[in-house]
Structure 1
Amino acid sequence: MADTRLIQSRYRLLDVIGRGGMGEVWRARDESLGRHVAVKCLKPMGPQHDQSFTRILRERFRREARVAAALQHRGVTVVHDFGEYDGVLYLVMELLDGRNLSQLLEDNEQHPLPVPEIVDIAEQVADALGYTHQQGIVHRDLKPANIMRLTDGTVKICDFGIARLGHDIGFTSRLTGTGIAMGTPHYMSPEQISGGNVDHRSDLYSLGCVLYEIATGVPPFDLDDAWAVLVGHRDTQPEPLRTHRAELPGFFDRVVLELLAKTPEERPADAGDLRQRIAVGRTGEQQHLPPAGHAQPSGQVRLAPPVPVLRPGRQPLGPGPRLPSWTRGMTVGHRASGATHLGLAPPDHSAGLTGEWTTGTDLRALTGGVPLARPERPTPSPELLSTLANRHSAGLNLGRLGHWEEAGEVHRAVAAEREHALGPDHPDTLSSRFEVAFTLSRTGRAADALREFDRVAQGRERTMGPDHPETLAARQEAAYVLGQLGRHFEAHQVYAAVLASRERSMGPDHPDTLRCRHNLAFNLSRLGRLEDSFRMARDVAHARSRLLGASHPDTLVTLYEVAYTLGQLGRWSDALQTYQQVARARATTLGADHPDTLSARYEVGISLGRLGRSAEALELYRALVDDRTRVVGPADPETLRARHGLGVNLGRLARWEEALAESRDVCEIRERILGPDHPDTLVSRREVAVGLGWLGRWADALTVYRTVAEARERVLGADHPDALASRNDEAHCLEQLGRGTEAVELYRKVAALRQQRGVEPH
């Protein structure tokens, strides 16, 4: 944004006071009230994010901004206003006069703060967290850069809404390609790292990391790589603080180590409990503390003189658990510094978890297994990693353009090079493997896609845990492919397991949870459990409408599924009304020519035909064919589908010559474009046979019916429902030709195959 730009005719941006990974903070003047404020502007979503993701981000921002604005406590930054201007989301906050804890450490060359300041900061932050946790709000990204010490000594926590928004971006965007949970590695709780359930006790762990750092000068696990830091949080006990700084009070050492317990149950019950422990300890050891400098006349925070600090993980730690040897020699990960003003910079996920992963050791060590001895993997050059990241992005862009074959070739090549450079279970390698699987599923190679998604899910489970969002994403895609393969019972089992994990770790209203419930509802209908499918889809539609709005594309996708299930239940009047509602809303929000709008119109035509309103359906399909032809061309599969609907309704109106001509033309184009055995081609060929039969040309119809039946048996199997339906058509045709004996024999054969299929295990 340019200097002195005026937002919403009210906030005049004056100068930048902070920048980071999610945007920038400006000092601004509120022209309406005549006061200075801070305006945080989020980076606009670029072309790398699809429209659906951008819409979700915008909705999440508005909700989280409302949450932040509702927080009223002296220890929480006040949010005055929020909105969107020229595509940029912004948050208006009080302008704070002070330094964040990261800056205070940097001012003193990373040496720790004075003891009374540390204890006072701990007590004030505990008080603020106690308030926010009572409101049901978890910060999720507490770190030194998000805690401000004002010139009057007040301590304030910043970025509640933005931290939660970043959490949701990390969990909902498939384009991050890394799978790491939201949070800065040096301050993440073990449950965040594992992708487990995160509640208020995760904030207490992060506070423990912050207090450890301001008391000793370094975080509890100050190792050379972000991955090693994460493993330290999960698997290694931190060194007592007084090992590094003897003058720290004993009670403070104990409190911080309790905060850093590996499981939430071992930590203080809540922030109120923590504050009480600090107060009791402070009273008990008051004689050891110099007077607290809560409000110093100079307005400056006093810093302790330089203290030599033993950096955990660098020097011998004495007896106790140690990080595995394979964590040595890794590259430097992200840690707090004064450069990240106002907590704006979350970890850089663009190159994966670490950017450089030098180990080739078996990662079963992360989950309690025994590491296998392997030669160390050479450190890949930054240039190679950057090149591979750019090629990965190019593959994503090819996919967005629908060039799935080319995208697959790019992702396969990048996956092979990443595996060689980084290892098979590195998040970046698995990200490329995920995209390979995705392209396979979009090019009709469902069995190959399933194997690849399973491989990715197993790798992510080893390195990130079974409940991590990225692990669940791979399993959910595997379930989708199982559905493509017609293995709907197995798909149901996977969807149900993923849904249970998502509800446990993310909550019932998280966008990914609702997406999984939507998919489960879809799969239930394919299992024939139509009432269950209808109820679940209806509930998801209500939840999405409540959270995202009645016209949000995700809400409409689920309403579309509700309409489909209503049709399967024979409730065509209800289905028609729902499809019409979806079509109107999509025309308004997406545009009249959007593919989703046109798809809803097609289904309106189906419903009209089912209700016997074929004349209306015919007019709808004529208009739809014109629109499809204009938008995507005459030979596009969707244009041909609309023409097929046109032919069907011509037949229903007994205009069989016209219907036959339409069906033959569509069949010929489909055969040329899609192939003779494509399901759409066979549907058109069957419609040709139907027209021939109604015109009394039963011998010609028999030939066509047999052609369809043989193709379906060849492609789908003799006992597939579509193949059996084609043999039934053939038997009916034999009856019409007076060949009753052959017809009866064929009917018996079909009945036997149906009975056999009915008793097969699913």
Structure 2
Amino acid sequence: MAETRLIQSRYRLLEQIGRGGMGEVWRATDEALGRSVAVKCLKPLGPQHARGDDNFVKVLRERFRREARVAASLQHRGVTVVHDFGESDGVLYLVMELLEGQNLSQLLEQNKQAPLPVADVVDIAEQVADALAYTHRQGIVHRDLKPANIMRLTDGAVKICDFGIARLGADIGFTSRLTGTGIAMGTPHYMSPEQISGSEVDHRSDLYSLGCVLYEIATGVPPFDLDDAWAVLVGHRDTPPVPLREHRAELPAFLERMVLDLLAKTPEGRPGDASELCGRIAAARSGPVLVDPHAHQGAHPHPHAHQGTHPYPNQAPHPIAHVHSATPSRVRPQPAPGHAPHEPRLPDWTRGMTTGHKAAGGTLAAPRPTPYDPTAGLTGEWTSPGMPPPVQLPGAARVERPTPPPELLSVLASRHNAGLSLGRLGRWDEAGEVHRAVAEDRERALGADHPDTLTSRYEVGFTLSRTGRADDALREFARVADGRERTLGPDHADTLAARQETAYVLGRLGRYAEAHQVYAAVLASRERTMGPDHPDTLRCRHNLAFNLGRLGRLDESYRTAQEVADARARLLGATHPDTLVTRYEVAFTLGQLGRWADALHTYREVAAARGAVFGADHADTLAARYEVGICLGRLGRSGEALELYRDLVAARTRVNGPAHPETLRARHGLGVNLGRLARWEEALEESRDVCVLRERVLGADHPDTLVSRREVAVGLGWLGRWADALSAYRQVAEARDRVLGQAHPDALASRNDEAHCLEQLGRHAEAVDLYRRVADLRRRQGSPTG
């Protein structure tokens, strides 16, 4: 193709940057959005595959389309993002994010085939394992994992590329048709024994291939580095690999053991799944620090944590027919719907937000920061590559510090990464201890306002937020924001990220007016420095819209969310995850405004779009369908809602298991709508089952458990069993008094329920007294001093 060729009047090809068995990859410009992209084109056919070989052409095209469908369904920070797919002048093309960095094969070549530093090997292993855990949960096996298909970006992130021969687990017949063509499926140096023998493969084949990759980057040679392809294949099938430490004695024992386990000849001998592998790596990281004493400092920098606003878990939908609770839960965080088990579920303050470190995958995701540079601070300057110089405030004295040893900085970077790994596993208390210790050591070595010290402080704040210590998190984020403002300036992206995190925690504390002030200030700065349509600006406006709703300014909340949704649709596309997240927020606000028919229409559109993009069983799709059920119930269409919730319970059970909080949420909706249809015996039975399971999984005082216990009381009342209902209502009221305080709206509502029950039992004096107490508490709560 000519360098000036324009595809679909939109993508201008500039230069070829890659070539492989399936196609060519071009650096290109998306002229509609003004951004750089990578365009993968089906490789033009040579004379040996002329028009007469229609079967070959058909299979190649089918495989390419398969790559597009599979890749487009994946939304994870460790997988290449796909923007578009189509056909132009007979050429199939795939538009992807443009990755700046090198694949592992190029890194080894650049390093003259010398192995990579141990810390880099471990970090790459962990990031690839995390990405594989996600893709395997989607039922996708890569089948061609090799160094050339794993990119190490300039910021230290690792991404898996090229799902061209991935297969969907349920699509066995299609895979057989592809493999029957004689086209090579996989690369000999990295193929699993079962792949070589033509047996059925599953996710454990990818684990074997990952073992081959790790073996090579840790030792400099593949596990079976033989003269010809057949000898390599026989080696995979029949020959035990040479232990890694015979090639490189300083490798940690845990790394050698892990890689050899991955290279087991049978799938049963390997780790059960990639999540198990992530756990092993994290456990090793939390032990003795992994440092390669022979590595050249700075040759392969350790990546920092995600610096700036953290990504948050996906939807935590509100309970049916009950108001949102503003009080953050102080119980153990639960897994987010549909995400890795180590991702905790936060309260509904994060409603509608997807997970992921890349902006393409989540509303609050922030760009990854500059990689850690072990030489930073050695000259008294902060010299991390790509980082703007710190702001020297007038009259501020520069503190000269002794030069920290590079080995110390490398150790601190490794410990920092260990803290991140613990966080990814949901071990937030342990992660917080690690980050706190690293922050103190960095402060002693580099100073309190050094960017690396503040990065560790930021992570401390995040772990505090995740463990329910919102007040402590607020103080930590304020400290980070002030330090970054002093050193980087008030409008620096990292300063604004810390300010935005401060606003988030204020919201969790119910301090919405203060949160609004911070969001508004951050938004003004982002608009001034980045422009109104920058992703970070739109992200902040999205959060501002949510906070407006919390302040009761529903019309403003709706208008702001609608404006953000329109802007995201224009810039990213109508079905982009960020667009759909904001449309989800628009639908929620419509519901709060009582416009349930409009909310139903919008939720249905979001659910359909998410189903097309992510799949019917994806957590985001199921969350939107849940909200469709709420709208149907509000509109009096409980029969339709009941059928929807039956399907949703089946899907949640299939995806998450019968006792998962989201499965129980769907069952709660089922019970509520049974009651609305006056099927009270069935409704009571369902509510009791859900209440028992929620108490076991979430705890007796968890808000969801109390919502279920109240639903039990409602059912008992409708069946005329008022004495039993009174006991249940009192349990709920006492728990809410204890957890939320007597004056909390939910606690007051429970006392009103109790008073109503007393009335039904003929205990009118007690009922009147309780009503008066509730009214008095409400008056005091609404007074200036109350």
| TM-score where L is the length of structure 2 | 0.54
Counting only pairs closer than 5 Å after superposition, residues 727-738 of structure 1 correspond to structure 2 as 727-738=751-762
Amino acid at match of 1:565: T
Cα displacement string for residues 561-606 of structure 1 (whole angstroms, at most 9, x for unaligned residues): 0010011111111111111111111111122222111111111111
Contact 2:37–2:95 at 8 Å: present in 1 too?
no
Q: 1:733 to 1:358 in 2, by over 3 A?
A: farther
Question: What CA distance in whole angstroms lies between the structure 1 residues aligned with 2:533 and 2:156?
Answer: 18
Contact 1:465–1:471 at 8 Å: present in 2 too?
yes
| 1:5 pairs with one of 10, 16, 19 | 19
Map of 1:268 onto structure 2: none
Contact 2:590–2:598 at 8 Å: present in 1 too?
yes
SS across alignment from 2:747: helix
Question: What CA distance in whole angstroms lies between the structure 1 residues aligned with 2:451 and 2:477?
Answer: 14
Map of 1:447 onto structure 2: 471
| 2:565 pairs with one of 541, 558, 567 | 541
Cα displacement string for residues 149-200 of structure 1 (whole angstroms, at most 9, x for unaligned residues): xxxxxxxxxxxxxxxxxxxx99xx9989xxxxxxxxxxxxxxxxxxxxxxxx
Contact 1:579–1:604 at 8 Å: present in 2 too?
yes
Contact 2:449–2:487 at 8 Å: present in 1 too?
yes
Amino acid at match of 2:775: A
Q: 1:700 to 1:585 in 2, by over 3 A?
A: same
Counting only pairs closer than 5 Å after superposition, residues 469-480 of structure 1 correspond to structure 2 as 469-480=493-504
Counting only pairs closer than 5 Å after superposition, residues 662-741 of structure 1 correspond to structure 2 as 662-741=686-765
Question: What CA distance in whole angstroms lies between the structure 1 residues aligned with 2:77 and 2:567?
Answer: 18
Contact 1:360–1:423 at 8 Å: present in 2 too?
no
Residue 389 of structure 2 corresponds to residue 368 of structure 1: no
SS across alignment from 1:525: helix
Question: What CA distance in whole angstroms lies between the structure 2 residues aligned with 1:546 and 1:582?
Answer: 16
Cα displacement string for residues 242-284 of structure 1 (whole angstroms, at most 9, x for unaligned residues): xxxxxxxxxxxxxxxxxxxxxxxxxxxxxxxxxxxxxxxxxxx
Shift of 1:634: 1.6
User: Between the two proteins, what is the percent identity of the paired residues?
Assistant: 68
Amino acid at match of 1:639: T
Question: What CA distance in whole angstroms lies between the structure 1 residues aligned with 2:557 and 2:25?
Answer: 49
Contact 2:18–2:24 at 8 Å: present in 1 too?
no
**5+ residue gaps in structure 1?**
14-21, 33-46, 63-80, 92-168, 177-330, 334-346
Amino acid at match of 2:440: A
| 2:370 pairs with one of 345, 349, 352 | 349
Shift of 1:364: 11
Question: What CA distance in whole angstroms lies between the structure 2 residues aligned with 1:174 and 1:475?
Answer: 25
Residue 541 of structure 2 corresponds to residue 509 of structure 1: no
Q: Number of aligned residue pairs: give it.
A: 466
SS across alignment from 2:636: coil
Amino acid at match of 1:717: G
Map of 2:544 onto structure 1: 520
Question: What CA distance in whole angstroms lies between the structure 2 residues aligned with 1:478 and 1:606?
Answer: 32
Question: What CA distance in whole angstroms lies between the structure 1 residues aligned with 2:26 and 2:520?
Answer: 51
Shift of 1:85: 7.1
Question: What CA distance in whole angstroms lies between the structure 2 residues aligned with 1:436 and 1:11?
Answer: 41
Q: 1:31 to 1:369 in 2, by over 3 A?
A: farther
Shift of 1:746: 1.6
Map of 1:646 onto structure 2: 670
Map of 1:569 onto structure 2: 593
Question: What CA distance in whole angstroms lies between the structure 2 residues aligned with 1:640 and 1:576?
Answer: 22
Cα displacement string for residues 728-757 of structure 1 (whole angstroms, at most 9, x for unaligned residues): 111111111112222122222212222222
Q: 1:435 to 1:82 in 2, by over 3 A?
A: farther
Shift of 1:411: 2.2
Amino acid at match of 2:730: R
Shift of 1:656: 1.1
Map of 1:751 onto structure 2: 775
Counting only pairs closer than 5 Å after superposition, residues 301-340 of structure 1 correspond to structure 2 as none
Question: What CA distance in whole angstroms lies between the structure 2 residues aligned with 1:609 and 1:358?
Answer: 65
Cα displacement string for residues 672-693 of structure 1 (whole angstroms, at most 9, x for unaligned residues): 2222111111111111111111
Shift of 1:11: 7.5
SS across alignment from 2:743: coil
Counting only pairs closer than 5 Å after superposition, residues 596-607 of structure 1 correspond to structure 2 as 596-607=620-631
- Pick the structure with greater CA Rg: 1
SS across alignment from 2:603: helix
Shift of 1:356: 2.7
Shift of 1:657: 1.4
Q: 1:418 to 1:735 in 2, by over 3 A?
A: same
Shift of 1:360: 11
Question: What CA distance in whole angstroms lies between the structure 1 residues aligned with 2:369 and 2:537?
Answer: 25
Amino acid at match of 1:463: T
Counting only pairs closer than 5 Å after superposition, residues 368-447 of structure 1 correspond to structure 2 as 368-371=394-397, 376-447=400-471
Q: 1:556 to 1:174 in 2, by over 3 A?
A: farther
Map of 1:624 onto structure 2: 648
Counting only pairs closer than 5 Å after superposition, residues 64-79 of structure 1 correspond to structure 2 as none
Q: 1:738 to 1:368 in 2, by over 3 A?
A: same
Contact 1:364–1:371 at 8 Å: present in 2 too?
no
Cα RMSD of the aligned pairs, angstroms, is 4.0
Shift of 1:711: 1.3
Q: 1:387 to 1:31 in 2, by over 3 A?
A: farther
Contact 1:84–1:90 at 8 Å: present in 2 too?
no
Map of 1:242 onto structure 2: none
SS across alignment from 2:546: helix
Contact 1:395–1:408 at 8 Å: present in 2 too?
yes
Question: What CA distance in whole angstroms lies between the structure 1 residues aligned with 2:75 and 2:407?
Answer: 31
Question: What CA distance in whole angstroms lies between the structure 1 residues aligned with 2:670 and 2:491?
Answer: 48
Amino acid at match of 1:356: G
Q: 1:357 to 1:607 in 2, by over 3 A?
A: farther
Question: What CA distance in whole angstroms lies between the structure 1 residues aligned with 2:719 and 2:413?
Answer: 61
Contact 1:83–1:89 at 8 Å: present in 2 too?
no
Shift of 1:422: 1.5
SS across alignment from 1:380: coil
Residue 572 of structure 2 corresponds to residue 558 of structure 1: no
Amino acid at match of 1:417: D
Cα displacement string for residues 479-532 of structure 1 (whole angstroms, at most 9, x for unaligned residues): 111111111111111111111111111100000000000000001111111111
